[in-house]
Structure 1
Amino acid sequence: MTIAFSPCPNDTFVFHAWVHGRIAGAPELSVTYADIDVTNGLATQDDGPEVLKVSYAALPWLLDKYALIPCGGALGRGCGPLVLTRDGSSDPAYLSGKRIAVPSDLSTAYLLFRLWAARHVPGGVGEIVVMPFDQIMSAVRDGDIDAGLVIHEARFTYPAYGLTMLADMGAWWELDTGLPIPLGAIVARRDLDRTAITDWVRASVRYAWAHPEESRSYVISHAQEMDPQVADAHIKLYVNEFTEDLREDGMLAVRALLHRAAEEGLVPRVDDSLLG
């Protein structure tokens, strides 16, 4: 079975057991490791992988071919994307007309930013530049862009780049809706057995929690130069009870995000029945 997910610690931690044959009855995986911008694009291709990690914000364009798997993804509280600058500004008006980097034009981070900016940035932002998430902080630090929307481990490492947080998209979303933040989803092609795939993903999550040391070398090898302590903090934040099961709160959050974005004309409307 073909699968694509990021090399970030939360994804490698979640899928370690399945990738390494620890899940009884699960098929062998052929893995593509790729940034979320790449996996969002792969999902739109006719020959895309059978299972993928994508942004929740990308679902309106994918649900005709892919079904949402209610586990394995990234959704939670206190884990939202951050807007970073190098000048210490805390005023959203600073972003008016500015050049801002985002990790993917189909990312949940960018969708949350667009919803937030519509309310908080007078006159709107200027140019949006899509770049790999791990290049954004350097670009802000070096003055190549005015601000950056960051995800993943940047929440822990941005002070080392001399950057400051202007706004936390997750904190805004939680305050505004009372719901957790839907970031990354696991999807599977609709011609596959969704129940079986759900069982295999959930079993892989549970195995990871039960045997955390088994995945450590795999996680660190794909995290490249990330400090092991940062990788551990990353996993602790992004792999939580919603990773095991979206539950009612998680599905409410997903529907709220997609419905609100559709009302603002940012994404096509989604039939709730397609979300499962």
Structure 2
Amino acid sequence: MTGTTRIAYSPCPNDTFVFHAWAHGLVPGAPELDVTFADIDVTNDLAERGELDVLKVSYAVLPWILDEYALLPCGGALGRGCGPLVLAREPGTDLSGRTVAVPSERSTAYLLFRLWAARAVPGGVGRVVVLPFHEIMPAVRDGRVDAGLVIHEARFTYASYGLHSLADMGEHWEAKTGLPIPLGAIVAKRSLGGPALRRLADAARASVRAAWADPSASGAYVRAHAQEMSPEVTARHIGLYVNDFTEDLGAEGYEAVRTLLAEAAAQDLVPQVSAESLTFP
């Protein structure tokens, strides 16, 4: 594998923390990166169009891209106690027929919401609108939408917007399955070939380990892209979303991914995915 690897990931602290070492040439032998910062709705769309070599995407988009992209076993976001939240201005808001803002129609958050709402909102929600995740809480607060599905650091800050949590998609998922919640995946183009894919996975894993070995090294990079997040929230964000599954999905991580996609396929929310297509080359 030669030349520069084109990669897209979000400006969120977990991604900038994880990829800092690699993006700054601090991982020996890793390919040079050409980084594009983009929110999840953009990276999901880029993956569906087959653009860029490596992307951080939603696990929910995998059924549409696995022919072209391979799931890397490291670098992503999967864990416990980190699920998306459904927020509204008033506690106990009935979502039947209401307008709900979501970060992406292909997002794992929205897929989990649809699985939850099928039982929790018998009448069905009304209109779904896609907004960049950092615009969702202001939209709910200002009454432009009735409720919002939020991700990332919003679980730490929603109270400051005067909002209330109606449901935690992670709690619902974990209670039902006993498994961690798959959120964001790292994928790379299969056309790069097996050796190159393994080199990319090695680089991602080494970058994670470098971040843990010297957490302060990525501080300036993380702060520069943290979208006015406070240092305390930034630290909590990293602590929640960067964990052992980021270093390696492992058997439990893969089981969580397979279970999510199988359940969604059983409800005709996504195309069916074979176990082989999730296997790292």
TM-score normalized by the length of structure 1: 0.98
Tell me the alpha carbon deviations over residues 42-90 of structure 1, each in whole angstroms, 9 at most, x when there is no partner: 00124x110000000000000000000000000000000000000122x
- The aligned residue for residue 45 of structure 1 is 49
Match of 1:29 among 9, 29, 33: 33
- The aligned residue for residue 176 of structure 1 is 176
Once residues 144 and 39 of structure 1 are traced to their aligned partners in structure 2, the CA distance between those partners, rounded to angstroms, is 25
- The aligned residue for residue 19 of structure 1 is 23
Distance apart, 1:271 and its partner CA: 1.1
Match of 1:203 among 201, 206, 210: 206
What is the one-letter code of the residue matched to 1:268? Answer: P
Pair 1:140-2:143 in alignment: no
What is the one-letter code of the residue matched to 1:4? Answer: A
Once residues 96 and 88 of structure 1 are traced to their aligned partners in structure 2, the CA distance between those partners, rounded to angstroms, is 14
Tell me the alpha carbon deviations over residues 170-204 of structure 1, each in whole angstroms, 9 at most, x when there is no partner: 00000000000000000000022221111000000
What is the one-letter code of the residue matched to 1:194? Answer: L
Matches within 5 A, 1:110-121: 110-121=110-121
Match of 1:257 among 233, 237, 260: 260
Once residues 5 and 95 of structure 1 are traced to their aligned partners in structure 2, the CA distance between those partners, rounded to angstroms, is 32
- Give the secondary structure class of the aligned counterpart of 1:95: coil
What is the one-letter code of the residue matched to 2:33? Answer: L
What is the one-letter code of the residue matched to 1:23? Answer: V
- The aligned residue for residue 14 of structure 2 is 10
Once residues 90 and 232 of structure 2 are traced to their aligned partners in structure 1, the CA distance between those partners, rounded to angstroms, is 28
Matches within 5 A, 1:122-141: 122-141=122-141
Once residues 202 and 268 of structure 1 are traced to their aligned partners in structure 2, the CA distance between those partners, rounded to angstroms, is 30
Once residues 119 and 129 of structure 2 are traced to their aligned partners in structure 1, the CA distance between those partners, rounded to angstroms, is 21
Distance apart, 1:224 and its partner CA: 2.4
Tell me the alpha carbon deviations over residues 224-251 of structure 1, each in whole angstroms, 9 at most, x when there is no partner: 2110110000000000000000011100
Distance apart, 1:123 and its partner CA: 1.1
- The aligned residue for residue 197 of structure 2 is 194
Match of 1:54 among 57, 82, 88: 57
Moved over 4 A (4+): none
Query: What fraction of aligned residue pairs are identical, expressed as a percent?
Result: 67
5+ residue gaps, structure 1: none
What is the one-letter code of the residue matched to 1:127? Answer: R
Aligned length: 272
5+ residue gaps, structure 2: none
- The aligned residue for residue 149 of structure 2 is 149
What is the one-letter code of the residue matched to 2:106? Answer: L
- Give the secondary structure class of the aligned counterpart of 1:43: helix
Once residues 238 and 135 of structure 1 are traced to their aligned partners in structure 2, the CA distance between those partners, rounded to angstroms, is 21
Once residues 32 and 138 of structure 1 are traced to their aligned partners in structure 2, the CA distance between those partners, rounded to angstroms, is 26
Once residues 9 and 43 of structure 2 are traced to their aligned partners in structure 1, the CA distance between those partners, rounded to angstroms, is 7
Distance apart, 1:211 and its partner CA: 0.8
Once residues 142 and 204 of structure 1 are traced to their aligned partners in structure 2, the CA distance between those partners, rounded to angstroms, is 40
- Give the secondary structure class of the aligned counterpart of 1:30: strand
